[in-house]
Amino acid sequence: MENSASYKIYFINDSAAAIDFGNVIDKEINAKAVALFNYLKQYPIEGMIEAIPAYSSVSIYFDILSLRKKIPSHKKVYDWIQNKLNQVMASKVTGFETIADLVRIPVCYDEEFAIDLPWIATQKNLTREEIIHLHSSRQYHVYMLGFLPGFSYMGEVDEKIAVPRKPEPQPILAGSVGIAGKQTGIYPLNSPGGWQIIGRTPLKMFDKNKMEPCLLKAGDSVEFYSITKDEFNHIQDNPPLLRRGVGGEAA
């Protein structure tokens, strides 16, 4: 991969290795990780089971039992994997950056859903309207999915509304939109969670019955727009068909 001189390879278990570009939250570094993931999806390394992108790394699972049979017995499989990964990194491959879909996500910031908005308002000395405006007036980058099926780690929120996680996880309902530090994200399922909740989307972020069960993918761009409770109910009762697409409306 081009421009990826600075990376480190290490193993996360005896059948998976990570290619790590550094312990940072950075859009450009994340783009490298996502491009590498896209590349591996199209050109999987022999014996590869799956690749998983994170903020600044890609982890790759291997079927090391089948590799053992293919590789000369005097060679260690992990050495072979390490060499392969270095070869991939040395190859001049470009054009695998994600073509970001812009997904516009409706959020109802109504009191009923925005359980932690009053606390943020007090902490940050902002009005409710200011917080909603700050959250919904910029574009966010989807760095990765993780934690729960379809849970998207997005950033970065305006410093003015960046607040720490709750000290203890609390029960959170599906669709809840939260803030943790400079990250924002949407809970796709009911789950315990520690992010500060400021609203809820009526969209299904995760649908197990779909071929592509998650609405977002790493590398996407997201915009939030404010809707009323009535609009929330309407969208929930009439789920939109068109959910994705370049520049497409999410609702």
Partner 1 sequence: MSLKIIKAGVLDTIQDLGRYGSQYLGINPGGAMDRFAAQVVNMLTGNDIYEPVIELHFPSSIFLFEQEAMIAVGGADFSATIDGEHIPLWQPVIVAKNSILQFEKWKKGARCYLAIKEKLNIEKWLGSYSTNIKAASGGFNGRSLQKNDEISFKEKCDYKCFLKDNDFVALPWKADILWKETLIERIAIVPGNEWELLTKESRKKIFKDFFVIGSLADRMGYRLQGTLNAKQGCELVSSIVSFGTIQLLPNGELIILMADHQTAGGYPRIAYVASAHLPLLAQKQPGDKIYFRFTDQENAEELLFLQPQHLLQLQTACKFRLAEFFSEKEN
For residues 165 to 204, the per-residue mask of contacts with partner 1, x marking binding by CB under 8 A and - elsewhere, is ------------------------x-x-------------
Count Cβ atoms below 10 Å from residue 195 Cβ, excluding itself. 26
Work out which of 147, 166, 173, 248 binds partner 1, going by CB under 8 A: 147
Residue 13 within binding range of partner 1, rule CB under 8 A = yes
Closer CB to partner 1, 61 or 119, in the complex: 61
Question: Nearest Cα to 19, choosing from 63, 68, 81, 77?
Answer: 81
Q: How many residues bind partner 1 (CB under 8 A)?
A: 47
Residue 10 within binding range of partner 1, rule CB under 8 A = yes
Question: Nearest Cα to 183, choosing from 149, 157, 205?
Answer: 157
Distance CA 134, CA 65 (A): 51
Residue 19 within binding range of partner 1, rule CB under 8 A = no
Q: Least CB distance from residue 79 to partner 1, whole Å?
A: 9
Q: What angle do CA 21, 24, 162 make, to 5 degrees?
A: 155
Pick left, alpha or beta for residue 57 (phi over 0 → left; psi -120 to 50 → alpha; otherwise beta).
beta
Contact set with partner 1 (CB under 8 A): 10-16, 18, 20, 23-25, 37, 49-57, 59, 61, 64-65, 68, 76-78, 144-151, 153, 189, 191, 206, 208, 213-214, 217-218
